[in-house]
Structure 1
């Protein structure tokens, strides 16, 4: 049974909607601000594996739907949840909204997932903004939980 709870993070990225959308579809770009490895580009109906080598972690990502320059709808994580990436053209760039929902956890476990998702997706958006606008890989994901 999934809850009605959802997490939302958003950021204006001062680049064209085409460039920002590509940043989430194409691992050649995404690996500069999020995961370190991917088995391929996101395509509707396809499942890819994202890897965070510094943590020895990986996740199967199933792509449910893609609307070019508007939406990427996925399901991933353990236990899995839906994650949608919405793209809206704005006067000064592109607004990216990441929504995560369909959680199976309850109580304290649900609170932890909400916290992790909120912080994690905010970090992803911050890293994407720095990379696309300024060409800087801030290494935010790598440094979020540094090894001793």
Structure 2
């Protein structure tokens, strides 16, 4: 049975919504702050594979819905969960909210998943902000677990 718990991470990125949205669907940009390889651009109804080469990890990402410059709805992870990316144009830039939900784990396993998702998506947003606002590749994902 799926849990009603969800994880949310958010960040204001001081760039136009069109640029921020493109950073999440276009792997040529996303690889600058998140995963290292992708089999393609996110498109509604398609499944792509994201890879984190430094960890030897891959994940199939199914794109359920895209509303340009507003929302991306995906299912991915192991075990799979829903991950939605929302983009809201604001006076000073774009608010990005990442919501993860539909977890099937319980107890300590659920707590670990919630912790991992919260930290992971916060790190992604931090890296995206640094890259889009300042052109800096912080290598946050690669440095998060240096002993792996």
Q: TM-score, normalised by structure 2?
A: 0.99
1:65-84 aligned at under 5 Å gives the runs 65-84=65-84
Aligned length: 148
How many angstroms apart in 2 are the aligned matches of 1:119 and 1:147? 17
Measure, in 2, the Cα distance between the counterparts of 1:3 and 1:122.
Answer: 21
Q: Which residue number in structure 2 is paired with residue 10 of structure 1?
A: 10
Per the TM alignment, residue 147 of structure 1 is displaced from its structure 2 partner at its CA by 3.0
Alignment of 1:146 onto 2:143? no
Distance across 2 between alignment mates of 1:48 and 1:33: 18
Unmatched segments (≥5 aa) in structure 1:
none
Q: How far apart are residue 91 of structure 1 and its match?
A: 0.2
Provide the TM-score with structure 1 as the length reference.
Answer: 0.99
Quick one: distance in 1 between partners of 2:115 and 2:147? 21
Q: Which residue of 2 aligns with 1:133?
A: 133
Written as runs of structure 1 = structure 2, the 5 A alignment for 1:1-148 is 1-147=1-147
CA distance in 2, matches of 1:63, 1:141: 22
In structure 2, the gaps of 5 or more residues are none
Moved over 2 A (4+): none
Other structure's SS at 2:18 match: helix
Q: Secondary structure at the match of 2:9?
A: strand
